[in-house]
Structure 1
Amino acid sequence: MAEITVSVASGAGKNFPDGVRLADALAELVSGKKRKTILAATVNGHLVDLATPLHADATIEPIVADSEAGLEILRHSAAHLMAQAVKILFGKEVKVAIGPAIEDGFYYDFDRPVPFSPEDFERIEAKMAELAAAALPITRRELSKAEALDFFRAQDEPYKVELLQDMEAETVSLYSQGDFADLCRGPHVPDTSWIKVFKLLRVAGSYWRGDEHRQMLTRIYGTAFPSEKELQAYLYRLEEAKKRDHRKLGRQLGLFTIQDDIGPGLILWQPRGALLRRLIEDYWKDEHYRNAYQLLYTPHIARHDLWKTSGHADFYSENMYAPMVIDEVPYQLKPMNCPFHIGVYKAEPHSYRDFPIRWCELGTVYRYERTGALHGLMRVRGFTQDDAHIFCLPEQLQDEIYNIIRLNQHILKTFGFDRYDVYLSTRPEKYVGSDANWALATDALKQALERMHMAYSIDPGEGVFYGPKIDIKIKDQLNRSWQCSTIQVDFNLPERFAMSYAGEDGAEHQPIMIHRALMGSLERFIGVLIEHYAGAFPVWMAPEQARIMNITDEQADWCHRVYEQLRSMGVRVEKDLRNEKLNYKIREAQLMKVPYMLIAGEREKAGGTITVRRRDGENLPAMSPEAFAKMVQEECSAHLKA
């Protein structure tokens, strides 16, 4: 019998009979506890099931349950287990659609005359547990497209039939467990006993294939983990996330409101929220000034022809609002700031001596988002980008990217973010610009990241059509990722707008353009900040830094004098002089996340002092208003200079 050589990536190889099952090879190549956690593997770089027969020399990389790839496989298998349970419980009245693994869990879409609700979860979970305990083998088989169509027509599963009809492949794979079979590429766990720890979480509506004109389905979300401990930790994070929901805290803290009679996705900043936003904007402007940026202001609308030149009218029209006609000329609300900055550039001639040019703007843009996608501050229809465009010479590109990353790190750290994932996105299939320019830009992005000693992952083919990019996803207190910062090199717009400068050789050359946003949009960034801090902002950006309150009416005049004095010294202070019990007033200040409560009784009034209480309950010694103002100023200054 012919033999093949199989090896684990980190160890020596061993000979096996041709056709040996991957699971059997791993049983001899991997020892100890790790072997029991292997649920799949890559064979010569291809991810496959453990039942896969090997017919050629192979290098194997085991996939364990608690790895990123392992969790995805486990959760995808859990989605199939849920669908199997639903079909057993509810029979032919339910049609199955799709059920992938997603970040932190899985979902499955179902068509049922009466939509599912959380009240159905107990029954479904019980059936899933029963099926998991049965250790049903999960097997893969390949069928021709025609055979698969016949199978799912016989099963009366129209959504699977439609998916198959749209596939170009002539051969497809099905995964079966018990009497349930699903159209799927896989891989999956070896049997259902691997899916021991799971939880169904919520239901939502979902249009078939994302088309609002198609059937509304019920989507059941769930999650699965290798251990109960990991599941409980995740459920704790979910509960904590509910408490930190920026929409709830935004109402509680009086930061912003959204009203249907004004329009969904349009933010009304209330006084406290507007002050928070102003503090962030002022800091942003100061930091950019220190880093040799110049501030621009540009209009909210422009002639429609401008967006034809930029390409947005052709490639971005579904995200733009309909034109408005002014003096018989169509105008458009801006979805981007870029063409306006190019307009400023073209207002006067430029020489190579002018570069680099760094222009920034807190520019409000308008993009159409479907109603179902809107989400508080995170997904809106009008938002303000912390935008900047850098125009530079080819030899300046790497240094400019390095400077952007350095500034980005500093700003994110100031706001409390020092953990993030970094991605370098390379050239997609469809692109503009020369291969030489793409190589120059990609290498400049890579070298800048390495100069900053930043770990990053390559995201192949995910660059934008006009150039490669860096995306930085920040991690919040709950370890959730948020896409905020992006750095993009652009060869397209300088060419479309015929931008040029006089080179040292006297000839005209085209500058390189860098698009750059550090916070993304102010709306979304503030939403992330609210959830990151659970509304308890650091003193430097708290819209209300202190609240002064009296014990009895006898101290009202003294509290008012302290209030006026602190305001004149730059402290953001409010006063609570109501005829209420002190504990009640303290509790209200704590609910509003005020960093400092200033309390005045007869002793403080007589001594010209205030008693200071932190929002965590710590009491500081009595001090003069001047000493308190100095303490706040030093605390803010220390944070901003760190």
Structure 2
Amino acid sequence: MSTRPSIDITLDGVSRSIEEGTTGTMLLADADGVVAMRVDGEPWDLERIVPAGAAVEAITLDSEDGLNILRHSATHVMAQAVQELFPDVNLGIGPFITDGFYYDFGGIDAVTPELLKEIEKRMKRIVKEGQAFRRRDITEEQGRAELADQPYKLELITTKGQGAEATASVEVGAGGLTMYDNVRRDGEVAWTDLCRGPHLPSTRLIGQGFALTRSSAAYWKGDQNGDSLQRIYGTAWASKEDLKAHQERMAEAARRDHRKIGAELDLYSFPEEIGPGLVVFHPKGGMLRHQIEQYVIRRHEEAGFDFVHTPEISKGGLFHTSGHLPYYADTMFPPMLADEETDAEGTVTRAGQEYYLKAMNCPMHNLIFRSRGRSYRELPLRLFEMGHDYRYEKSGVVHGLTRMRGFTQDDSHTYCTREQAPAEIRTQIEFFISILTAFGLSDFYLELSTRDEDGAKKDKFIGSDEDWQAATRTLEEVCASTGLDLVPDPGGAAFYGPKVSVQVKDAIGRTWQMSTIQYDFNQPERFDLQYTAPDGTHQRPIMLHSAKLGSVERFIGVLTEHYAGAFPAWLAPIQVRLVPVAEAFDDYVSEVAARLRERGVRVETDLSDDRFGKKIRNASKERVPFILIAGGDDAEAGAVSFRFRDGSQTNGVPVSEAIEHIVRVIAERVNDPAGEKIER
């Protein structure tokens, strides 16, 4: 019988007593698939002793936390394999990331495909060996002694507690320092790394569900003035089957890449002569963009928004007033000087003003609100514009249409009373979803971004605790009333207030942030915005920032990938392609095309010298919604034959019936390809 005293804990919400000194491994020995535990909300290794009064939850391999621990453990195995090949390598950091992991290495000149294969081969051997991950608490002095030949690790120890970069938290974290040893079954330590953990009990649990994917250049701590490193990426999953499913998703995502499809369909391009992060829309892409903007503008008109327009450049003082400088200085284009005066010799006699390209529209909308006195009777006042904005994204992070330097926001700012804010936010969230649904998106949830309550990070947010708490509470209550799932995003708020974003899943299950609404109590104060209340006093309005598509360009990129370029007929740049079976029927298809144009349909006729089969293949490759074919029987009967995008065909449809069907599908904004077919 044990003589150790008992302690009280909570396991998965149920109170129980256990012996003092019980580890997670002992406590959860009978649970299936458990690889770690959560103690008072923090993930822990199973070998750690459970403290008295702790709230303990099991972490299984197939959970989000479990997968992150799996990926972090795979990172260590990869670094061990790399150091076997390059004993003098300098170890950087190795966090888990979405769907995978990476590790940074110094002292490797290049990572070839052959080297990746060799590293992966060694990883499989380490996994099969079943090395245990053992955690050790160390002092800073011990860490410096053990890592004397690892300059990056030494720097992490030295900068711990001095604002070390967030990415380094996988190494040092909060609290004391810890090392993790990879221990073979005979007790020999195979490899060691500075890390805060947690890890799997054994490398064997990594299994066969991992693969190395690519490498890239990186900089120590992301600083371009720092050392150049080699970053090796991998992916890891709970099973080999999950890995294969992920690889198939990645292959499908590559097939849907909007940059590739944009070139294939002649929609847009990114000329090097213009610069990174800037796009030109070709005629077909311009038409697609026009249709999207036209629809969104009309919906804003119907919803009672007032249209405004503001310049794309402004004095820097405006952005100091709004608070964006210095908070957003790194993402704004460098200032330029204007209004200088010089004498005949070219000497400056009057200094110029600093002007900035605008990165956001809200400061200028505030000036419109402030341009005259406002009454409570005007509220809510909703100002809207298709604002052209510019942000100085680093060239290494710009990505097609989804991360740009120049973009167009369907941006609105609503000024209302505090009492009006909840209803206005709820109305706008419903407005967002109705617009996104019209474009064929349907799988939504909400994300609530709040400020980081950590003392050191709190400084990047402005405003009183009371204002933040009131704004956050309002958004939480509105989100709960929508019935949509709500996911917290602590630390993700704008510097001036919390926000709600609508997250959307596309056709292959990827999540995109779309519409956002932000609760701002700071800018009305900074711009001294006022309205006259019913009692005659001057009150401060609440300001709600919102964008429905986010940016038009990014939305086009998302839609292109969602539909794999096969846009619904109402959006497609070319809605109908008429193809004569032979030259003899050129006049007939031209007449049908003319009738379609009269009804507002975007139509082309293929009267080229290509063979009939090639004309059909071309139309199919260009994802034209309706291919209308006409031959002798069709011309004689006053009919056409439909060929749809899935290759099916409906023959002998009278021209009038064909036109009415096409016009109806377009007018009803049918997004389901099955709804484009004609029933006969």
Coarse TM-score class (shorter-chain normalised): over 0.9
Corresponding residue for residue 70 of structure 2: 74
The letter of the residue matching 2:288 is L
* SS of the residue 1:464 aligns to: coil
- Which residue, out of 407, 410, 414, partners 2:438? 414
Q: Does 1:361 align with 2:385?
A: yes
- Which residue, out of 98, 101, 114, partners 1:103? 98
The letter of the residue matching 2:257 is D
Cα deviation digits, residues 29-63 of structure 1 (max 9, x gap): xx4xxx23100011233321000013424332100
Q: Does 1:310 align with 2:310?
A: no
Q: Within 1, Cα distance between the matches of 2:440 and 2:90?
A: 47
Q: Does 1:179 align with 2:190?
A: yes
Return 178-187 or 250-259, whichever deviates more: 178-187
Q: Does 1:194 align with 2:205?
A: yes
Q: Does 1:137 align with 2:161?
A: no
Q: Does 1:330 align with 2:339?
A: no
Q: Within 1, Cα distance between the matches of 2:550 and 2:124?
A: 43
Q: Does 1:454 align with 2:484?
A: yes
Corresponding residue for residue 26 of structure 1: 28
Q: Within 1, Cα distance between the matches of 2:562 and 2:476?
A: 30
Cα deviation digits, residues 456-488 of structure 1 (max 9, x gap): 023334322311111222111121111222110
Q: Kindly state the Cα deviation for residue 165 of structure 1 after the two structures are TM-superposed.
A: 1.3
Cα deviation digits, residues 504-531 of structure 1 (max 9, x gap): 1111111110001121111111111111
User: Which 5+ residue runs of structure 1 have no aligned equivalent?
Assistant: none
Q: Does 1:64 align with 2:60?
A: yes
Q: Kindly state the Cα deviation for residue 632 of structure 1 after the two structures are TM-superposed.
A: 1.9
- Which residue, out of 125, 142, 148, partners 1:147? 142
Q: Within 1, Cα distance between the matches of 2:399 and 2:488?
A: 30
User: Which 5+ residue runs of structure 2 have no aligned equivalent?
Assistant: 162-173, 183-188, 341-352, 453-457, 673-680
Q: Kindly state the Cα deviation for residue 139 of structure 1 after the two structures are TM-superposed.
A: 0.2
Corresponding residue for residue 616 of structure 1: 646
- Which residue, out of 4, 8, 15, partners 1:5? 8
Q: Kindly state the Cα deviation for residue 582 of structure 1 after the two structures are TM-superposed.
A: 1.6
- Which residue, out of 106, 118, 121, partners 2:116? 121
Cα pair 1:258 1:264 within 8 Å, conserved: yes
Q: Does 1:219 align with 2:227?
A: no
Q: Kindly state the Cα deviation for residue 451 of structure 1 after the two structures are TM-superposed.
A: 2.0
Matches within 5 A, 1:419-568: 419-428=443-452, 429-430=458-459, 431-568=461-598
Q: Does 1:584 align with 2:614?
A: yes
Cα pair 2:312 2:358 within 8 Å, conserved: yes
Corresponding residue for residue 87 of structure 1: 83
Q: Structure 1's 55 and 353: CA in aligned 2 closer, same or farther, altered over 3 A?
A: closer
Q: Does 1:262 align with 2:285?
A: no
Q: Within 2, Cα distance between the matches of 1:458 and 1:280?
A: 31
Q: Structure 1's 333 and 86: CA in aligned 2 closer, same or farther, altered over 3 A?
A: same
Q: Structure 1's 323 and 560: CA in aligned 2 closer, same or farther, altered over 3 A?
A: same
* SS of the residue 2:325 aligns to: helix
Q: Within 1, Cα distance between the matches of 2:25 and 2:109?
A: 43
* SS of the residue 1:47 aligns to: strand
* SS of the residue 1:76 aligns to: helix
Cα deviation digits, residues 146-182 of structure 1 (max 9, x gap): 21011111xx221111111111278300111042111
TM-score when normalising by structure 2: 0.90
The letter of the residue matching 1:173 is T
Q: Kindly state the Cα deviation for residue 10 of structure 1 after the two structures are TM-superposed.
A: 4.6
Q: Within 2, Cα distance between the matches of 1:633 and 1:561?
A: 17
* SS of the residue 2:432 aligns to: helix
* SS of the residue 1:541 aligns to: coil
Q: Kindly state the Cα deviation for residue 417 of structure 1 after the two structures are TM-superposed.
A: 1.8
Q: Does 1:274 align with 2:286?
A: yes
The letter of the residue matching 2:141 is A
Return 304-313 or 525-534, whichever deviates more: 304-313
* SS of the residue 1:520 aligns to: coil
Q: Kindly state the Cα deviation for residue 320 of structure 1 after the two structures are TM-superposed.
A: 1.3
Q: Does 1:382 align with 2:382?
A: no
The structure that is helix-richer by fraction is: 1
Q: Kindly state the Cα deviation for residue 407 of structure 1 after the two structures are TM-superposed.
A: 0.5
Cα pair 1:543 1:572 within 8 Å, conserved: yes
Cα pair 1:432 1:491 within 8 Å, conserved: no
Q: Does 1:321 align with 2:324?
A: no
The letter of the residue matching 2:273 is D
Q: Kindly state the Cα deviation for residue 233 of structure 1 after the two structures are TM-superposed.
A: 0.5
Q: Kindly state the Cα deviation for residue 14 of structure 1 after the two structures are TM-superposed.
A: 4.0
Return 50-59 or 74-83, whichever deviates more: 50-59
Corresponding residue for residue 403 of structure 1: 427
Corresponding residue for residue 158 of structure 1: 151
Corresponding residue for residue 41 of structure 1: 37
Q: Output the aligned Cα RMSD.
A: 1.8
Q: Within 1, Cα distance between the matches of 2:65 and 2:508?
A: 21
Q: Within 2, Cα distance between the matches of 1:81 and 1:280?
A: 48
Cα pair 1:611 1:623 within 8 Å, conserved: yes
Q: Kindly state the Cα deviation for residue 12 of structure 1 after the two structures are TM-superposed.
A: 5.5
Q: Kindly state the Cα deviation for residue 446 of structure 1 after the two structures are TM-superposed.
A: 1.8
The letter of the residue matching 2:179 is L
Q: Does 1:572 align with 2:568?
A: no
- Which residue, out of 108, 112, 126, partners 2:107? 112
Q: Kindly state the Cα deviation for residue 4 of structure 1 after the two structures are TM-superposed.
A: 2.0
* SS of the residue 1:235 aligns to: helix
The letter of the residue matching 1:531 is E
Cα pair 1:571 1:629 within 8 Å, conserved: no
Q: Within 2, Cα distance between the matches of 1:140 and 1:354?
A: 63
Q: Does 1:240 align with 2:252?
A: yes
Q: Kindly state the Cα deviation for residue 641 of structure 1 after the two structures are TM-superposed.
A: 11
Q: Kindly state the Cα deviation for residue 11 of structure 1 after the two structures are TM-superposed.
A: 4.3
Q: Within 2, Cα distance between the matches of 1:44 and 1:325?
A: 55
Q: Does 1:15 align with 2:15?
A: no
Q: Structure 1's 347 and 626: CA in aligned 2 closer, same or farther, altered over 3 A?
A: farther
Q: Kindly state the Cα deviation for residue 7 of structure 1 after the two structures are TM-superposed.
A: 4.5
Q: Structure 1's 141 and 641: CA in aligned 2 closer, same or farther, altered over 3 A?
A: closer
Cα pair 2:446 2:479 within 8 Å, conserved: no
Cα pair 1:6 1:25 within 8 Å, conserved: no
Structure 1 segments of 4 or more deviating over 6 A? none
Cα pair 2:569 2:669 within 8 Å, conserved: no
Q: Within 2, Cα distance between the matches of 1:504 and 1:483?
A: 39
Cα deviation digits, residues 199-237 of structure 1 (max 9, x gap): 111111111111112222111111111111111110100
The letter of the residue matching 1:146 is E
Corresponding residue for residue 297 of structure 2: 285
Q: Within 2, Cα distance between the matches of 1:641 and 1:506?
A: 51
